[in-house]
Structure 1
Amino acid sequence: MKRVGCLGLFAGLALIAALFALVQMWSGAGPLEADRNVVVPEGASLTRAAEEMERAGAITSARRFVLLSKLLGGSDPIRAGEYPIPAGISQADLLELMQQGKVVQRLVAVPEGLPSVLVHEALMRAPELTGKVAVPEEGSVLPDSYSYERGETRAAVLARMQQAMDRYLADAWKRRKPGLVVTTPHEAVILASIVEKETAKEAERRTVAAVYSNRLRQGMRLQADPTIIYPLTKGRPLGRRIRRSEVRAVNGYNTYSMAGLPQGPIANPGRASIDAVLNPAESSALYFVADGTGGHVFADTLEQHNANVAKWYAIRRARGEME
């Protein structure tokens, strides 16, 4: 009886040792020596994914990985995609990575005020995207950073950018201040694009929006320099001073030669500029000019504005920027 008992004890201990070794094998450090990305193809089974991981050196045996996954890893399915595999990852963590779909995330950045021609260039430069896409309609993209996965189409990423603008504009329009000079969301985007190009200072966006709203309400020309540049470059930097002939040019955008809003946006405005147009500051200002610090000084009358312009010219002469 004692012998049988000892054999049973030894068998039990052996089983415990085997289970412990199995758990250690599952949760212990793996063989991968350096971080690398591995692609699990669309529709891949666990076996196919394991073969890709073995080929990449993340595990030593695809067959063993599949067996341990079924015994110890739960039943959640794996997801396709490009995975960032860290050096020494355990088999347990590797399976969890694929089950949770923690794929490599890449970003396309769209800064506030970026024109659509440059949004298009950013999409076409983005690595690992597929397909071509046309230049989006100006003002249709919400500036932000957009994540994407390897193999995704440029059209799909652009659609997310435009859907984000549609959602934000619809929500902002519901919150708009009563009695605005802009009467449609599209007009709000047009005016917001001008505000975006005129100031980068958060604190003065609503006042700039108020100036242009006041001018529109009184039938004054907006006289916004960026609207002169847009038909010349489609929003790219002009790289020189504006010529007198360009100030006088008659087209659908130049607000020096026409009253009212341009025929369309001149950039893709961000959230803050949209909000500023839909809730402008309480101000009677009709003019503004640079103040030499990166911001602007505002005026209610032409006389005040001319005095501010004279101060700005004095600053520029002192800097050697003009005679």
Structure 2
Amino acid sequence: MTLPTFADVQTAADRLAGVAVRTPLLESPLLNARAGCRILVKAECLQVTGSFKFRGAYNAVSALPEAQRARGVVAFSSGNHGQAVAAAARMYGVPATIVMPSDAPAIKIAATKAQGGRVVTYDRWTEDREAIGKALAAETGATLVKPYDEPLVIAGQGTMAMELVEQARALGVETIDRVIVPVSGGGMVSGVALAMEALSPATRVASAEPAGFDDMARSLAAGTHVRNEPGGRTLSDALMAPTPGDITFPIAKRLLDGGYAATDAEAKAAMAIAFHMLKLVVEPGGAVALAAVLSGKVDCAGRTVVVIASGGNVDPAVFTEALAENASPF
């Protein structure tokens, strides 16, 4: 098994130049006061297709040999990775088939179709999405682009860390004490950790997950893969991987400083605060890192903390509910 390196992240940055959005690193005095520290928010919800996933998807699709890419791509995804792969395929004029759970937010299914993806649905509780994806790829000769356990995807996600280090320095930040990253299978946090190790080795990188789906944090504590209990539910539909990836976990085990878990209520509160204080629309899974800080789980007093707001593809009803339940975030 070949693990990606920082050199792969640098190569991905070259591929993504002029294609991916250089998302802003945002700060609010009101948010700093609320958090009790200096908190900088990397707004990946403003990325192409509304999430960080475009970085890894485009890097993986663009790296394929032209003849192989022409046969198309297949992905399995709760929504954000699928949209990103469909968008990257559309840019190259090749077909994309996306395997998505039938209970995925309707807005994510519609957006994937709008990007030109052919959507194949499955029952996330009784069927194996990876097996379905592999079968579809074998039938058509297409290439399967995994959502996190793929070196090219991990490298692409790491490019956001290259940006945030430069952006923090431009803001006069001498030391980034912590980076908190939303985690499902671990592709983003692995890429970010590889880049931070090279560019800001004193920074501690940690995971943030939904309560009940904190398999990364528990796996790190145990030193081996731990699985979530089946049948759990969370609003953070993008962060429901059952266990860390085979490629991502060795990187996380070496580089991560533990992890945190946020409840759905805490994620909704963070969504409302991001909206009111930063004018961002963030989905529940995209808000768990901010939620971990604002709920007091992260010891950040007197420190500078970067949180990744990883996606903004939220069901309108869920977003309305989050705002209604947190009407006075100040």
With the shorter chain as reference, the TM-score category is: under 0.3
- Pick the structure with more strand per residue: 2
In terms of Rg, which structure is larger?
1
- Normalised by the size of structure 2, how large is the TM-score? 0.23
- Normalised by the size of structure 1, how large is the TM-score? 0.24
